Structure 1
Amino acid sequence: MKIAIGADHAGVRLKDELISFIESLGHQVSDLGCNCSDSVDYPDYAIAVCEQVVAEDVDKGILICGTGIGMTIAANKIPGIRCALVHDLFSAKATREHNDTNVLALGERVIGPGVAQEIIRIWLETDFSQGERHQNRINKVKALEEKYTIHP
């Protein structure tokens, strides 16, 4: 699987620690920055990662900022993205099984590298439950996205 990863200045340390872990699981990683501790704007990195996910240049995306909240908000503005902010193992599994998320958001100031690694491992290894009730809900989310998307 190919994974795009991006972080702002508040998530860069965790991002850098997670890249080798993700690669150790057998995945390719596309590091879209940032690569500094200077203040940057999280939407720029959310856009970079999510555009690759939507274009299917990568299979999934991971976003990291201080809390993960800003990244999640920005990512979910992009049609085709289902991003979940996850800080526990149960949610890592549930968000894949029930919501078919294609982007994961983490908060460096909220969780440590060990928990982040386990969240990522579970999230990457868990498949979407193809059951009708979950698919119906995803279809309703897609319909909302279409309804509120402005078409030029």
Structure 2
Amino acid sequence: MDFVLWVCRVMHVVSVVVWLGGLIFLNAILHPISAYHQQTKLVTVLEAQKRFLPFVWSSLWTVFVTGVLLMLLSPRFLWFEYSTTWSQLLAVKHVAFLLLMFFSWQSAKVVAKMGEAVVGEGDLFEGWRLGLQKLLRRSIAWGIVALMCAGGMAVV
């Protein structure tokens, strides 16, 4: 049983690193570089975002499955009992994860809209690009909240 918990924890942490690391890469490296070179409509930038989405979704499902396993196998977990700090942090972490799932779903839709708008000459593409940046920043913020909750759960 200890080995199963260890494997779940490792997969959980690696998936979170891939997910949040990728979001930070897109927001802090790829978008500023493409904006600096005035190549936000560059097809390769859109292709990089499209190629990254499967990694996000595979990481999301791995985080979900391993998180559920870790939660259910934890002796601290009690269904709908929020009297301890650990269970309160777990509830906040669940809310953060649900928001992250929603933002990832929205990001996938926005990237698809950007692909459609790339052929246009208007400001439609720029609006979708700015919307994607907002979604990525919100995802990063809620990911940090989830990480802080996980850190708090490990301490209490």
TMscore range, shorter length: under 0.3
> TM-score scaled by structure 2?
0.25
The structure with the larger Rg is: 2
Larger relative contact order (Cα-Cα within 8 Å, sequence gap ≥ 6): 2
> TM-score scaled by structure 1?
0.26
